[in-house]
Structure 1
Amino acid sequence: MTDWRPVRRLVPEVLGALVRRYGHFDACEDAVQEALVAAAAQWPVQGWPENPRGWLVAVASRRLADQLRSDTARRRREEADALRTPPLAGGDLDARGPTGDDTLTLLFLCCHPALTPPSQVALTLRAVGGLSTAEIARAFIVPEATMAQRISRAKQRIKAAGARFELPPPAEQAQRLGVVLHVVYLVFNEGYTATSGTRLVRAELTDEAIRLARELHRLVPGAGEVAGLLALMLLTDARRPARTAPDGSLVPLSDQDRTLWDTDAIAEGVALVTDTLSTGPLGSYQLQAAIAAVHDEAPTAEATDWPQILALYTLLQRVAPNPTVTLNRAVAVAMVQGPAAGLAVLDALSSDERISASHHLVSVRAHLLEMAGDHDAARADYQEAARRTTSEPERRHLLTRAARLG
């Protein structure tokens, strides 16, 4: 099977070359996708070109030129853009060479505030990640036509907002960077624990999120939260080989074979979080990475430093309060102070509409009730959580836990 990941990494460079020359982000993005389709059809048969990037730029440029010429109005816009934008040296789109700034610029563009969060994620995966509409649709378990409409509407909104292919002004970058990080984080989370479907993990999404975080860290090395997010994802993804049994079922953290964890990723993540915690103000990704590091550095589940994890969650709740943090803190409270104390923390979430209907709240309550020895109540909650989840691996795991309690 051909590995297309190196080709996907070229997408920001190819798209950036076209957008800088022609403008029209929506038309350029479509042309790049058509070039990728052409490459998938031709390269396995004819062999890979010596310069894959130049090949993609040339093919996408021809497709774009054909599209622009086919419509009178677009041709007029192209001529106007040509007057405003000086041609590149020698008239060669590829002469400018790859620039890492394209990735950051595209990320900011795809995370434009005019877009909804789902649209930001979808457009990021398409324009920056190089995933096809069909791949993105499969990742989020929606029909391809639905995803195509979402992406099309997102590009139309960007165009209507008058967005240009350039980084936001410095005063706006810091605010927009938070949105960019959040989108990359959402992509990772959907890949690490798919919200629906038969697979627990979608590795194509976790790998792409980590790649994007690496690029952001390279481009903004002094941003603590960028380093924190990369560290968090590395430390979390390091456990991926041990998260599923051979039959695809979920293996909880406490039962995982830690010899399967990726020690290189853990070492890199720990180094990143150690460095970033010593400089600047603390953010939520840095604190979450610190928690992940404590888990990963424990040789066994029993050796986990739960008091330190509880202290970090308490600090995280002050820095970035939200129901998910409270939910995770409840587990840490239970491990340090006993299940009754953890259940008391959960009680405050029962009236929070942001999480009260989630299967996560019920499943954590079931776990703490099991720790407390109330097996009947725990079994009922495991069964209720299984009814609420749309993830088949999680459903099977929860029903297995319920069955073990009689």
Structure 2
Amino acid sequence: MIPAEPFGEGEGRWRELARQALARLLRSYGTAQFDLCEDAVQEALLQAYQQWPARFPDDPLGWLIATARRRYVDRARSDARRRDRETRATLLAPPVAPETAQRDDSLLVLQLCCHPDLPRSGQVALTLRAVAGLTTAQIANVYQIPERTIAQRITRAKRRLGELGRLLPPPEQADESVTAVLDVLYVMFAEAHHTTAGAPPRDADLAAEAIHLARLLRRSVPEATEATGLLALMLLTEARHPARVGPDGRLTSLDEQDRALWDKELIGEGIRLVEQATPGADPGPYLLQACIAALHAEAPDIATTDWVEILALYRLLEIVTGHRNPTITLNRIVAQAMVDGIDVALAGIDALEADHPGLPRLGAVRAHLLEQAGRPDDAATAYRRAIAATVNLAEQRHLRHRLRRLSDAHT
């Protein structure tokens, strides 16, 4: 569990310190001791939370690592009492020389959590726990599955890493697990950008963590176009945040955002990355989404957006992902409404709902299309159904605002 802010540091700083300390212990004692290392870091974090407000250390990371090492040795010795002398020596002797140089091992821990011998569900759950610092309950909320199931996935993943008994992977092996790492980073950023509970609607620290890790990954595998694409997608999405969430915390949809508030620096960097990655590339899902985000970023308003190109990109994205992601299809239908008309889009919504009746945002998109079609009564009914179907508090608030505005305009 990542503690709160006892001395003015943001939660993102706690996550960074915890991740670095965990990486240093794993380097020292090996991944076979993942569970012991993580427990030791958590205990050190708790001690820091209690002591630092009174006396802040000159070297917070060094303090945390030293404390976590002591906690690890205490735990290992306790376990060793039930084992023979040979096992005790293996636990307490670092398999590699201790490192004194400051380095960012975040990507290496991320690679370890995305080890190819772990199932995808275990990779994601363990990464969100060990790298992103989310609690088991938060991860369960992301996937809307029982907390006990997530806890079991994390436990099995740790056990499997212990069975493998490997050290942290060297940086040059980053490309071996790049697909899994990309997928996990995407999940992290998606949760940060649109939190499951919606209170708050956005996790700024988690978004910064995801972008930081995406930058590290791209530096490790500069030739991987999907790594560049994901970083560009994150930057272009993050650039819209100042206009997406108002001062009152209410969400603002793309068609109503003040684009003057968009972060021009992030947009410029994101577009440059897209332009670097696309020539001659065999586009994957992240690069295609980045291209779509770039088209939105370059348009001065909704009316002048190149919807024909966006629709074409969404159709290609559906093909690349094997038509397995209904959210992509929903986004394609939104673009299709701008190109082929609302009636065509509403027919697409009907077909999509038949196959995926519980798809998030589907009801909200239907309500918006009905409102645009000049059918206020049907739109109001659709808004009420969408409000009842969503558990996201920020989304509920946004939909209620749209419903009130629609009602006021027709009374």
Which band: TM-score by shorter chain? Answer: 0.7 to 0.9
Change (3 A) 1:219 1:158: same
Q: 2:15 aligns with which of 8, 13, 23?
A: 8
Equivalent AA in structure 1 for residue 155 of structure 2: R
Please point out which of 42, 48, 73 is paired with 1:33.
42
Give the superposition deviation at 1:167: 3.2
Shift of 1:52: 3.1
The answer to which of 154-163 and 324-333 deviates more is 154-163
What is the TM-score when the length of structure 2 is the normalising length?
Answer: 0.85
TM-aligned CA deviation for residue 233 of structure 1: 0.9
State the shift of 1:225 in Å: 0.6
The alignment status of 1:44 with 2:45, answered yes or no, reads: no
Q: Distance in 2 between matches of 1:265 and 1:287?
A: 18
For residue 90 of structure 2, give the secondary structure of its aligned residue in structure 1.
Answer: helix
Cα deviation, 1:258-283, whole Å, max 9, x if unaligned, reads 12211111111111111111243110
Offset from partner CA, 1:221-279 (integer Å, 9 cap, x none): 21111111111111011111111223222111111111221111111111111111124
> Contact conserved, 2:327 with 2:359, CA < 8 A, in 1?
no
Q: Are positions 1:19 and 2:26 aligned together?
A: yes
**Distance across 1 between alignment mates of 2:177 and 2:140:** 28
Cα separation, partners in 2 of 1:350 and 1:297, compared to 1, 3 Å: same
Deviation for aligned residue 1:34: 2.0
State the superposition RMSD in angstroms.
3.1
> Which residue in 2 is equivalent to 1:223?
224
Distance 1:345 1:312 in 2: 17
- Cα distance between partner residues in 1 of 2:121 and 2:197: 15
SS at the partner of 2:260?
helix
Match of 2:200 in 1: 199
Candidates 57, 68, 72, aligned match of 2:76: 68
Distance 1:279 1:39, change over 3 A: farther
SS, match of residue 354 in structure 2: coil
Q: Distance in 1 between matches of 2:204 and 2:186?
A: 14
User: How many Å separate the matches in 2 of 1:204 and 1:219?
Assistant: 23
Other structure's SS at 2:361 match: helix
Q: CA deviation at 1:198?
A: 3.0
- Residues matched between the structures, number: 394
Which of 92, 95, 99 is matched with 1:94 structurally? 99
Residue 385 (structure 2) pairs with residue 384 (structure 1): yes
Q: Relative to structure 1, is the Cα distance of residues 73 and 259 closer, same or farther in structure 2, using a 3 angstrom cutoff?
A: farther
Offset of residue 398 of structure 1: 1.5
> 1:195–1:69: structure 2 CA closer, same or farther, 3 Å change rule?
same
1:248 alignment partner in structure 2: 249
Aligned partners of 1:169, 1:163: CA distance in 2, in Å? 18
Whole-angstrom distance in 2 between the partners of 1:309 and 1:69: 60
State the shift of 1:57 in Å. Answer: 2.0
Residues 258-337 of structure 1 mapped to structure 2, 5 A cutoff: 258-320=259-321, 321=323, 322-337=325-340
TM-score normalised over the length of structure 1? 0.86
What's the offset of the Cα at 1:119? 4.9
What is the CA distance between 1:371 and its match in structure 2?
1.9
Aligned ranges for residues 167-186 of structure 1 at < 5 Å?
167=169, 176-186=177-187
Q: Secondary structure at the match of 1:351?
A: helix
Distance, in Å, in 2 between the alignment partners of 1:278 and 1:34 is 49
1:70 and 1:161, CA in 2 relative to 1: closer, same or farther beyond 3 A?
closer
Relative to structure 1, is the Cα distance of residues 35 and 145 closer, same or farther in structure 2, using a 3 angstrom cutoff? farther
For residue 21 of structure 2, what is the amino acid of its counterpart? Answer: V
For residues 135-164 of structure 1, the C-alpha deviation after alignment (integer angstroms, 9 at most, x for no partner) is 95798599x986994576245443465352
Q: For residues 272 and 183 of structure 1, do their structure 2 counterparts lie closer, same or farther at Cα, with a shift above 3 Å needed?
A: same
Q: What letter is aligned with 1:79? A: A
Residue in 1 aligned with 2:3? none
Structure 2 CA distance for partners of 1:149 and 1:76, relative to 1, 3 Å? farther
8 Å contact kept, 1:330–1:346: yes
CA offsets, 1:276-327, max 9 Å, x none? Answer: 1124311000010111111111122322221121121122122123211111
Q: Counterpart amino acid of 2:230?
A: L
Structure 1 residues without counterparts, runs of 5 or longer: none
Deviation at 1:16, TM superposition (A): 2.5
Greater Cα shift, 286-295 or 241-250:
241-250
Q: Distance in 2 between matches of 1:140 and 1:323?
A: 17
State whether residues 390 and 396 of structure 2, in contact with CA within 8 Å, keep that contact through their aligned partners in structure 1: yes
- Determine the structure 1 residue equivalent to 2:237: 236
Distance in 1, matches of 2:176 and 2:62, equals: 35
Q: Deviations over 1:364-383 (max 9, x none)?
A: 12222222222222221111
Equivalent-residue separation in structure 2 for 1:87 and 1:244 (angstroms): 47
CA shift, 1:86, in A, is 5.0
